[in-house]
Amino acid sequence: MASKDLYNNIGIVQAVAPQVLTATNTSSGVDLAGFESATVVISTGAIVASGNFTPKLQDSADNSTFADVAAADLMGSFPSALAATTVYKVGYKGSKRYVRSVLTQNSGTSIAASVDIVRAHARSKPVA
């Protein structure tokens, strides 16, 4: 039986709603204010015609100027290409206020995918 409370300690933002992607997708910035950590969760489904997509995370201090997150600010790493029917998680330990996901189409037709940003270690609890 679970004895810890995660429910009141995290906030989840859907950066990319589940959909079939046929081009590069860049999410809106996700505000990490009020949280001490974040994890990116990418879920994939079917790939059509060898759809090849590369994921990455970008961060920004002002939600305007984004840059790729340095490997030193990630826990784990993104694959060079997303595989079908797989879930990936990569932690963010950088110091910027905003993050966004980028799924870059390299070749092929499409991939079914979604991206959630799990904001955790909330400074104020419970999280609404």
pLDDT computed for residue 76 by the predictor: 97
The answer as to whether 60 is a domain residue is: yes
pLDDT computed for residue 2 by the predictor: 79
The answer as to whether 2 is a domain residue is: no
d(CA 10, CA 7): 6
pLDDT computed for residue 1 by the predictor: 77
pTM: 0.94
Q: How many CB atoms lie within 10 A of CB 29?
A: 21
Q: Burial level of 41, CB count in 10 A (0-12/13-18/19+)?
A: middle
The answer as to whether 4 is a domain residue is: no
The answer as to whether 97 is a domain residue is: yes
Q: Going from the first residue of the chain to its last (128 residues), give the mean pLDDT of each consecutive group of 10, the final group possibly shorter.
A: 87 98 98 96 97 97 98 97 98 97 97 98 90
The answer as to whether 3 is a domain residue is: no
CATH of the domain at 40: 2.60.120.1110
Instruction: Name the residue range of residue 48's domain.
Output: 11-122
The answer as to whether 50 is a domain residue is: yes
What's the total number of domains in the chain? Answer: 1
